[in-house]
Amino acid sequence: MSTNLSEFVSKQVLSSINSKQLQTIIKKKEFDQILRTFQKIMTLQDTYRTGWKDRELPFKITENDSQHTYTVSILNLLSRAAFKQSLESQLIGLKEGLVHEFGESSPGIKGTDWTPFSSIKQDEKHSKEKKIVISTLSELPIKSRKSVFQYWKDFEDPKLGVFSKQIDKLETYLRSQILLTSKEHWLSKKITSTPRLIGKTISEGLDEFEDYTEEKMISEELKNLFYNAKNSFNQLKTGIPSEEVIKQMNSVIKSYLVYEKFKFINTDNTDRPNEKVADILFARTVLAFLINEEFEIFNDNDLLRAGLNPEIGLRPTYSKIVIDHPFFKHNLKDEYQTLSVPNNSKEIIIIKDLEKMTHIIPKYVK
């Protein structure tokens, strides 16, 4: 393979690229730097979240950082839109969601997904993750390196990142409730290898997320969102039909479920048997993000919303859902239409092109 990654990618896909802007960008030296950074970020697909591993979930539904980042970005956007925050604020939330796990994109390093129960102090965790982010972004052109790093810093900032951090916790809670209210037999299995949880069932282990999340909800708007979700899932647990629960559900949570489903649908990628559709959606969105931070030739709002939207350009290359959950049997509507983009826009065209590209970019080799 050529040492120039953009040359390799260009040979594979240039003839099928429809975006004139991308045809130009792909020839620039900065594009090669972006692709090398993208390779490192994609190691998030191989970083499985410690909280789910500790609770010994089946591998087929053990979420990785890529999938988690996909729905954190969307939930951040959905919430800010519902709370009538500005388009600029919505875009900031989306970008902070995209970058917030870059501190765990550490090729060749095991165990970088630290949780509140990990034996590491918060200051040490932040310091380690900062070093990883700096290393991950080190090959980016200086312009985009500065802007991408700033979004990560803002997420980590105790004041600037407070809303996005609450969203991060809320998203994890929502997934725990999806798992708890599924119809899966493994929920009653005993946890055997995590010292703090030994003897508990997987269901009991998942229950821990509720109190922890409630403590973290500072914003009154997000508190109300949390309590609505809690009430909805509790109704489902008591046997109320899912269609009745959905009618009472906050529109943000209802919309979130539309996208959460794609973290439980496998792709047809035989090289990555546990790859989910959400991994593809995250990959094309984060590549679009890196490109536009450097070249600034696309409408950021339309570009990133198109990237996250599974109705845009996604090849029909996925199979059946890998979890039995009543909510996913309904054709839920995204009432806020937050990911809608004008038809045939240049942003849609490049997202479709970038999806083709992400499929052929080699995995990172240290």
Q: What is the pLDDT of residues 331-349, one digit of tens each?
A: 886 665 779 899 889 999 9
The total number of residues written for the chain in this structure: 366
Is 90 exceeded by the pLDDT of residue 191?
yes
Measured CA to CA, the distance from residue 327 to residue 312 in angstroms comes to 23
Is 60 exceeded by the pLDDT of residue 109?
no
The pLDDT confidence band at residue 110, using thresholds 50, 70 and 90, is very low
Is 70 exceeded by the pLDDT of residue 248?
yes
Burial of 279 (0-12, 13-18, 19+ CB in 10 A): buried
Q: What is the pLDDT of residues 152-171, one digit of tens each?
A: 999 999 999 999 999 999 99
Q: Which pLDDT score is estimated for 271?
A: 80
Q: Could you tell me which residues come within 8 angstroms of residue 265 by beta carbon, excluding any fewer than 6 positions away?
A: 276, 277, 318, 319, 320, 321, 322
Indicate the average pLDDT of the chain: 91
User: For residues 129 and 103, is the Cβ–Cβ distance under 8 A?
Assistant: yes
Q: What is the pLDDT of residues 215-236, one digit of tens each?
A: 999 999 999 999 999 999 999 9
Window from 59-63, 108-112, 361-365 with minimum mean pLDDT:
108-112
Q: What is the pLDDT of residues 14-28, one digit of tens each?
A: 889 999 999 999 999
Rounded mean pLDDT, 129-149 = 96
Q: Which pLDDT score is estimated for 29?
A: 94
Handedness of CA 99, 104, 106, 107 (dihedral sign): negative
Q: Which pLDDT score is estimated for 350?
A: 97
Apex CA 263: angle with CA 260 and CA 265, to 5°? 115
The CATH architecture that domain 33-358 belongs to is Orthogonal Bundle (1.10)
| Buried/exposed code over 159-172 (b: 16+ C-beta within 10 A; e: otherwise) | eebebbbbbbbbbb
The pLDDT confidence band at residue 365, using thresholds 50, 70 and 90, is low
